[in-house]
């Protein structure tokens, strides 16, 4: 009798396991089909986007902006079209993977993938901010260097380099804020740097103009007394 009960329990468990697996098979096949379709679509659209930006000569435009040397220093090639194509590819892959995980009922994975998809626009914005910072920094560097040299002052290249670094560092901090990386710390740093520059400028102006201010005050006093 006991053996019969154990047999019924084992057989019932195996039947439930088989029924659960049989019900899971259609979902698994559907998820695999959706993901394979996503890979095909992602590959096609990624290649299409890359060719479109190759046709409009995006890489040549970036080279004219003077970005190529910075990538070469980092040991990378400037391939903006390829980057955008890969970005579209992985965005679509993650989107179809999200659909597949929903079909399988993997809700924890689905939540993670939704966060990844929602974070991609921040990455794009951060990249654009850094590119703009490098371009603006290079332009201001040339402008400051030329202005200082035309005024026949010293340290023209040094001042131009300082200008470039100031713009790029500010762009880097802004990009990190866009990526939500240590936002409070970066905001504190930016506020501190601005306050430091304001204080340094105020002290420099105050100490440098102290004698001239005293001269003006003395001249005003003598003029008042003479009346």
3-state SS, one letter per residue, for 65-79:
CCCHHHHHHCCCCCC
Q: What is the DSSP letter of 179?
A: T
- The answer to the question of residue 88 being in a domain is yes
- The answer to the question of residue 165 being in a domain is no
Question: Is residue 15 scored above 80 in pLDDT?
Answer: no
What angle, 0 to 180 degrees and rounded to 10, lies between the N-to-C axes of helices 107-150 and 156-178?
160
- The answer to the question of residue 60 being in a domain is yes
- The answer to the question of residue 145 being in a domain is no
- The answer to the question of residue 185 being in a domain is no
Residue range of the domain that includes 71:
1-105
Q: What is the DSSP letter of 181?
A: S
Distance CA(15)–CA(104), nearest Å, equals: 21
- The answer to the question of residue 94 being in a domain is yes
- The answer to the question of residue 90 being in a domain is yes
3-class SS at 96?
A: helix
Of 9-13, 49-53, 162-166, highest mean pLDDT: 49-53
Considering its fold, how many domains does the chain have in total? Answer: 1
Cβ burial of 191 (10 Å; 0-12, 13-18, 19+) is exposed
- The answer to the question of residue 92 being in a domain is yes
Q: What is the pLDDT of residues 33-92, one digit of tens each?
A: 888 998 999 999 989 988 888 888 877 777 776 776 766 666 667 777 888 888 889 889
């Amino acid at each position: 009798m006991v053996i019969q009960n154990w047999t019924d329990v084992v057989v019932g468990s195996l039947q439930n396991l088989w029924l659960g697996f049989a019900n899971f098979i259609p979902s698994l096949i559907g998820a695999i089909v959706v993901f394979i379709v996503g890979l095909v679509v992602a590959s096609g659209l990624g290649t299409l986007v890359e060719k479109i930006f190759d046709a409009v000569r995006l890489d040549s435009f970036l080279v004219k902006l003077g970005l190529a040397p910075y990538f070469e220093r980092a040991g990378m090639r400037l391939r903006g079209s390829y980057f955008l194509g890969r970005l579209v590819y992985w965005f679509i892959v993650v989107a179809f993977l999200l659909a597949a995980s929903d079909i399988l009922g993997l809700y924890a994975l689905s939540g993670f993938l939704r966060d990844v998809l929602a974070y991609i626009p921040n990455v794009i914005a951060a990249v654009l901010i850094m590119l703009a910072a490098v371009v603006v920094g290079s332009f201001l560097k040339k402008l400051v260097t030329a202005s200082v040299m035309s005024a026949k002052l010293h340290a023209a290249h040094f001042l131009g380099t300082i200008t470039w670094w100031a713009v790029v560092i500010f762009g880097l901090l802004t990009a990190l804020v866009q990526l939500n990386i240590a936002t409070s710390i970066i905001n504190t740093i930016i506020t501190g740097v601005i306050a430091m520059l304001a204080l340094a400028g105020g002290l420099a102006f105050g100490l440098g103009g102290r004698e001239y201010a005293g001269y003006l005050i003395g001249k005003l006093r003598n003029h008042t007394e003479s009346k």
